[in-house]
Amino acid sequence: MSRLFLPLLAFTLGGIPVIEQSPAAEPVPPKPAHSLTKEHATAFAKLALKGADKEYPHKPGITFAGIADVKNPKALHPAFFGCFDWHSSVHGHWLLVRVLKQYPDLPEAKQIRAVLADHLTEANLKTEAEYFARNDAKSFERPYGWNWLLKLAEELHTWDDPDAKKWSANLKPLAELIAKRYAEHFPKQTYPIRAGVHSNTAFGLSFAHDYVRTVGDKKLQDAIEERAKTYYGKDFDAPARWEPDGADFLSPSLCEADLMRRVLPAAEFQEWFAKYLPGIAKGEPKSLLLPATVTDRTDPQLVHLDGLNLSRAWCMRSIIPVLPKDSPSRAVLAASSALHSEAGLKNIASGDYAGEHWLASFAVYMLSTPTP
């Protein structure tokens, strides 16, 4: 990590640099952030593989239209039935693609390919698309699961591998259906949802924006950017001091900033961010910049906070490069992202399925973002 030079550094509180006017001094840089190593990849692949075919316990998010819909998870969702729920299964598959793409010689490579080949068949994904096409499934997994499905599609689309090309082609109809859902729904959603969980609109638009840029869907890209600017363009002084809520796995304030750095030119984003989180340069609010405490990793809601620490880290890591090089906020966010990544990474394999079925995906995505 390159050393960050600031005109002053008074003291450090919980690892977060706090800036005040004083004679010039070079701060001690925060602990170097992590990147995705082969060791990480194999450890996290093992967790994803453990859940990929684990049908139970399962939390269905479906609407039963009649007795005919009462089926076991694999019959309903033959591609994405494992990992407790549909969206966790989807981002578990994204994890497997991501780590194999980066490290083709992983010890788990053969098993990963076998799972992907078994799940991402044309027939299985046709059944998944048919489920989404149902009238009573219009809001199914909106927007969190939609977002991860498009991230999986993007990852396969950019992988020059014979198997990946086949899986990408099989997934394409479902990805296009989901993209169509974005185009249909968000113009009708007048107000953003700012919760720190699955319904969060800012996160729901972020990966979709990555996908449409990658596949060249300029019309949907323009629509997503219009929605982002309409929802958030005039925001200022975000109430980040209220974070976190007790079951957050996303930061409402940081997810919003992570979306806006995608859709605004750098200079406009810098101006927007300075008004949006005006206390960051001074290390405020501390509740946003210090990792959340998890008291019970067997509780499926409380363990969300481990995910919050990881998602905060990836948002900060992605925001830093867009800020001015002389901005004190860069050092504050770099220190905070290092604290959050350290807190999150050490608790991925807790031994309890409540967190283990999904946290590895958050870890891999965080480790794939820029290193401050």
pLDDT band of residue 53 (cuts 50, 70, 90) is very high
- In the block, tokens 């499905």 appear at 149
**351: which residues sit within 8 A by CB, 6+ positions away?**
none
Q: How many Cβ atoms sit within 10 Å of the Cβ of residue 370?
A: 15
Element (H, E) at 73: helix 73-76
pLDDT at residue 14 in the model: 52
Longest dimension (CA), the chain: 74
Average pLDDT, the chain: 91
| pLDDT computed for residue 34 by the predictor | 75
Question: Residue range 277-288: average pLDDT?
Answer: 97
Whether cis (ω within 30° of 0) applies to the bond prior to 73 is: no
Run of H or E including 17:
strand 16-18
Mean pLDDT value of segment 224-243: 98
Q: Which fold does the domain 11-19+36-367 belong to in CATH?
A: Glycosyltransferase (1.50.10)
Mean pLDDT is lowest, of 22-31, 261-270, 316-325, for 22-31
pLDDT digits (tens, 9 = 90+) for 237-257: 999 999 999 999 999 999 999
> Three-state SS for 11?
strand
Percent of the chain with pLDDT over 70: 91
Task: Give the per-residue pLDDT at 64.
Answer: 86
> Phi, psi (5° rounding) for residue 10?
-85, -55
Q: Report how far residue 270's alpha carbon sits from residue 327's, in angstroms, rounded to the nearest whole number.
A: 10
Give the mean pLDDT of 150-177.
Answer: 98
pLDDT of residue 15: 53
Instruction: Please give the torsion angle defined by the CA atoms of residues 141, 143, 145 and 151, in that order, rounded to the nearest 10 degrees.
Output: 160
Mean pLDDT of 284-303: 97
Give the pLDDT confidence of 71-118 residue by residue, as tens digits.
Answer: 999 999 999 999 999 999 999 999 999 999 999 999 999 999 999 999
Distances in Å between the Cα of 67 and the Cα atoms of 63, 72, 115 are 11, 12, 31
Residue 148: what pLDDT?
A: 98
pTM: 0.91
Taking 80 as the threshold, does the pLDDT of residue 153 lie above it?
yes
Does the pLDDT value for residue 20 go beyond 70?
A: no
What does the pLDDT read at residue 65? Answer: 86
* pLDDT over 50 at 199, yes or no: yes
DSSP 297: T
Give the residue carrying structure tokens 């969060």: 200
Specify the pairing of strand 16-18 against strand 11-13: antiparallel
What is the Cα–Cα distance from 49 to 243, expressed in whole angstroms? 33
CA 292 to chain centre: 17
Average pLDDT over residues 194-223: 98
The stretch 205-228 carries a mean pLDDT of 98
Assign 22 a pLDDT band (cuts: 50, 70, 90).
very low
The pLDDT of residue 187 is: 97
pLDDT exceeds 50 at position 336:
yes
